[in-house]
Structure 1
Amino acid sequence: MLLDHIAVSGETLEEAAAAVEAALGVPMLQGGQHDVFITHNKLLGLADGLYLEAIAADPSRPAPERPRWFDLDSFSGRARPTNWICASEDLDALLAALPIEVGDPVSLTRGDLRWRKAVPADGKLPFDNLFPSLIEWNCEVHPATVLPPSGCALRRLIVSHPEASALAAMLAPHFRDARVVFEPGAPALSVEIDTPHGLRTLA
């Protein structure tokens, strides 16, 4: 498992993107629409092959036949970081090795992008949606490689949860990244990012 990107959800895409831009002082770029889950996004490239994704339900199209990923059907309130996404080169093997159900693989496309994503049937990930969402890219192009440099880099991703130690222990055999910190507390994500304007926090 490698950290791939971080999702900032909003009741609308405009609210999600505005929250990122206000916090970091840099503009997001247009992403696109997602079939199956009927969402749309905007993107911001980070250093080291990472990126931020502002995401929301897409009101321009009919509702999906299944619950949306990231539990977006239940999202309300201010735009905020809600999910962190980790990539695997063998999603099936990783899912088989995990001691918890995190969803079944769904094949997806957007333009030249091809990927498989483990998505729970109800759209809700374990640990109050703070278990990482798992992805396997099936294309030569990764979104971060085509995004222009933003001057932003992830310093820390803080995953807060009452059972943070249990979550960290469950991930330990598969994931190690000094930038990702697990802390006890109310369920939440906090993202510290070095920007051209100094250290900023998304929370």
Structure 2
Amino acid sequence: MTLTFDHLALAAETLEAGVAHVEAALGLPMAGGGEHPLMGTHNRLMGLGDLYFEVIAINPAAPPPGRPRWFDLDRFSGRPRLTNWICRCDDIAAELALSPPGTGRVLDLQRGDFRWQMAVPDDGRLPFDNAFPALIHWQGSLHPAPRLPDTGARLTRLEIAHPQAEALRAALAGRLADPRVVVLAGPSPAMRASFSTPHGVRVLE
């Protein structure tokens, strides 16, 4: 297997709205995060043990990036909701060659002392209506998850619904082995995540 589930992303029209939504749903605080000048976005994070959770939104104080933003944020509207999941890999060029067309081109990014490469689609939208994972390659040994406070929350299940579920499963076959990730047939693209927390089971969609 060449992909490892790295983190989840929830998009919002404003970062404040997204953070409030997640903290109310999970009953836990978010921490960390920062700005992404290349994309004109900013985020807040929550540790989930081996994973982390990201709330991301357009940064109104940042200049437009001159290209479509990642996670299809330029077209996002409505309530805060899960929109993307991200998988890390050791060889992002090789993974792109195995991925559906439109998975993206590799960009070099940084936030603080974190350095990474990410495949970002030219139009901002990942294959399968954003249901295909974004690909990331962390450079060096630094990763956000160990630096975040341990809230006691853990992801137990991520359901990814899509009308072309069989094709999406085929695109991931032999590349990802994570029992928490379940691809289901559904009338429209949707994501639903279940978490164990100190307050019991909580769900985000």
Question: Contact 1:87 / 1:135 at 8 angstroms: preserved in 2?
Answer: yes
Structure 2 Cα separation of the partners of residues 201 and 75 of structure 1: 21
Question: Could you list the runs of 5+ residues in structure 2 that have no partner in the other structure?
Answer: none
Structure 1 Cα separation of the partners of residues 75 and 63 of structure 2: 17
Structure 1 Cα separation of the partners of residues 98 and 133 of structure 2: 15
Counterpart check, 1:58 vs 2:59: yes
Question: Contact 1:35 / 1:108 at 8 angstroms: preserved in 2?
Answer: no
Counterpart check, 1:20 vs 2:22: yes
In the TM superposition, what is the alpha-carbon distance from 1:99 to its structure 2 partner?
A: 4.3
Structure 2 Cα separation of the partners of residues 176 and 33 of structure 1: 31
When the two structures are aligned, how many residues end up with a matched partner? Answer: 202
Question: Contact 1:116 / 1:136 at 8 angstroms: preserved in 2?
Answer: yes
Counterpart check, 1:8 vs 2:10: yes
Question: Contact 2:169 / 2:183 at 8 angstroms: preserved in 1?
Answer: yes
In the TM superposition, what is the alpha-carbon distance from 1:44 to its structure 2 partner?
A: 0.2
| 1:144-159 alignment runs, 5 A limit | 144-159=145-160
Query: What is the DSSP-based 3-state SS (H/G/I as helix, E as strand, rest coil) of the residue aligned with 1:126?
Result: coil
Structure 1 Cα separation of the partners of residues 170 and 160 of structure 2: 13
Describe the superposition over 1:97-139 as per-residue Cα deviations: whole angstroms up to 9, x where unpaired.
2243300000001111000000011101111111100000002
Q: Percent identity over the alignment?
A: 53
Q: Residue 18 of structure 1 aligns to which amino acid in structure 2?
A: A
Query: What is the DSSP-based 3-state SS (H/G/I as helix, E as strand, rest coil) of the residue aligned with 2:60?
Result: coil
Aligned to 1:35: 37
In the TM superposition, what is the alpha-carbon distance from 1:156 to its structure 2 partner?
A: 0.2
Query: What is the DSSP-based 3-state SS (H/G/I as helix, E as strand, rest coil) of the residue aligned with 1:127?
Result: coil
| 1:88-127 alignment runs, 5 A limit | 88-127=89-128
In the TM superposition, what is the alpha-carbon distance from 1:158 to its structure 2 partner?
A: 0.3
Query: What is the DSSP-based 3-state SS (H/G/I as helix, E as strand, rest coil) of the residue aligned with 2:128?
Result: helix
Aligned to 1:181: 182
In the TM superposition, what is the alpha-carbon distance from 1:147 to its structure 2 partner?
A: 0.5
Aligned to 1:196: 198
Structure 1-normalised TM-score? 0.97
In the TM superposition, what is the alpha-carbon distance from 1:31 to its structure 2 partner?
A: 0.8
Structure 1 Cα separation of the partners of residues 73 and 116 of structure 2: 20
